[in-house]
Structure 1
Amino acid sequence: MLKAIIFDVDGVLVDSMFFQAEAWVKTFQEAGITISREDIYELEGSNDKRLIKSIFENSEKEPEPWHFEQLPEQKRNALEFDRIKPFEGILDCLKELKKHFKLAMVSGSNRKVVEKIVDKFFSNCFEVIIAGGDLERGKPEPDPYLKALEKLDLTKNECIVIENAPLGITAAKRAGLYCVAVASMLEPEKVKHADLVLEDHVILLDYLKNLILKSS
């Protein structure tokens, strides 16, 4: 029986991926590395440490310890937070879902950014919030989703995950969870390893509303 829904944040709850990616592009440019937004979309869901390490490796460079401390801060300063908004209909849907299910949030983003998003848009919506720096191993490792399960005090077959990123889907599947992907930023082909792929947020909202009907 379904008792909880675990949501990724960027690209699922908030339309933020363009701005998150742009902030990273500017940050790496200042560090002497040229990347595209698509490079960040592919790594979405990673925590800061893994993302920085991956970008440096792809550029055949070696990060120094200070990169892991300073680049995330530079990226947060470059992020145009005021331009981030929830996807249309998401907030009302979450309010309805909360009447029937426990809700959790699992993000690869820094906790400061996650809490800022929650405070601005989703206050009192989520019982459990896991951010990118909370665990040593982030997505695509299963640890963030396993931690959410532990905090929800539920079993794997009592929860589903809503994701949009390849690494996040891999993390959910490695945790043994049923994963629904919304292809909000990448081609459906890139997220086909999810159990179910939905083309856009209109279809996602219909799917979530159907879960409410089934639980009533």
Structure 2
Amino acid sequence: MSTPLSAVLWDMDGTLVDTEPYWMAAEGPLVESFGGTWSHEQALRLVGLGLDDAARIFQDAGVRMGVHDIVDHLTDDVMRQLGEKGVPFRPGARELLADLRRAGIRTALVTMSLSRMARRVVDLIEFEAFDLIVAGDEVTRPKPFPDPYLRACELLGITPGEAVAIEDSPNGLRSAVASGAAVIGVPHMVSLTGVGAHALWPTLEDRTAADVVSFHRAHRERTGDVA
């Protein structure tokens, strides 16, 4: 019998909510305010990257601010946009999250955004959506290192083999796969082909808790992980 599913670990930006355009809308004006230029292609390379690492790239692009000041500036801008425009959930994400909760499967949010932003998004969900949040300012090494997902499993009291992670970015996928979780990639702004996801779902629309349980069971049986 394969190891049972105990928890589903969600990435936030681009997987649960479509905030990547908000980040991109904040990035260009910041670089331009220091006389630089910022392209869409440059912005895409930051998808799923830890905020401190992204801040250093902005410094290389000419932004004369400290790493933490850059992170705070971008986070404040994105939170302002969330307040003005609302939280844009990805197709099917809120519905799948609610179905997992009804099924009694624990959930965690594993994001490289700051904890204050992650909690703001979670507070706007109309049901108790997550058992815990692991944010970018709560881990030593960000995605693509496995630390964020390992930390979530540690706090939940489970092994990575008992978890499914859902991600939309190459960096996030690498982090989740390295942790030992079974990983579903849901492409959004960048391709996930060849990155190592154990399954690629084009969308979360019409997906249910039963689909996630079936995926996890098949993955554990395929890898020979039996209880």
TM-score under structure 2 normalisation? 0.81
Separation (CA, whole Å) in 2 of partners of 1:206 and 1:70: 39
1:90-129 CA-to-partner distances (Å, cap 9, x unmatched) read 2232122013311011001111111110111265210120
Match of 1:136 among 134, 137, 140: 140
* 2:1 equivalent to 1:3: no
CA contact (8 A) 1:17 1:41 kept: no
1:22-51 CA-to-partner distances (Å, cap 9, x unmatched) read 112222222343222342332222232111
Separation (CA, whole Å) in 2 of partners of 1:95 and 1:144: 23
* 2:100 equivalent to 1:97: yes
* 2:44 equivalent to 1:41: yes
AA matched with 2:134: I
CA contact (8 A) 1:97 1:212 kept: no
Separation (CA, whole Å) in 1 of partners of 2:139 and 2:14: 21
**CA 1:96 to 1:201, structure 2 compared with 1: closer, same or farther past 3 Å?**
closer
1:146 Cα offset (Å): 0.6
Q: Does the residue aligned with 2:207 lie in a helix, a strand or coil?
A: helix
CA contact (8 A) 1:100 1:212 kept: no
Separation (CA, whole Å) in 2 of partners of 1:161 and 1:74: 29
CA contact (8 A) 1:44 1:108 kept: no
Task: Report what 2:173 is aligned to.
Answer: 169
1:10 Cα offset (Å): 0.8
Separation (CA, whole Å) in 2 of partners of 1:20 and 1:183: 17
Separation (CA, whole Å) in 1 of partners of 2:214 and 2:145: 33
Task: Report what 1:206 is aligned to.
Answer: 207
Separation (CA, whole Å) in 2 of partners of 1:152 and 1:110: 20
CA contact (8 A) 1:8 1:105 kept: yes
Task: Report what 2:27 is aligned to.
Answer: 24
Measured on the aligned residues, the alpha-carbon RMSD in Å equals 2.4
AA matched with 1:210: D
1:59-117 CA-to-partner distances (Å, cap 9, x unmatched) read 4x6x76x4213222221333211323112432232122013311011001111111110
**Percent identity at matched positions?**
24
* 2:187 equivalent to 1:179: no
Separation (CA, whole Å) in 2 of partners of 1:95 and 1:17: 23
Which 10-residue stretch deviates more, 78-87 or 131-140?
78-87
Unmatched tracts of structure 2, length 5 or more:
217-227
Separation (CA, whole Å) in 1 of partners of 2:51 and 2:7: 27
**CA 1:135 to 1:201, structure 2 compared with 1: closer, same or farther past 3 Å?**
same
Task: Report what 1:156 is aligned to.
Answer: 160
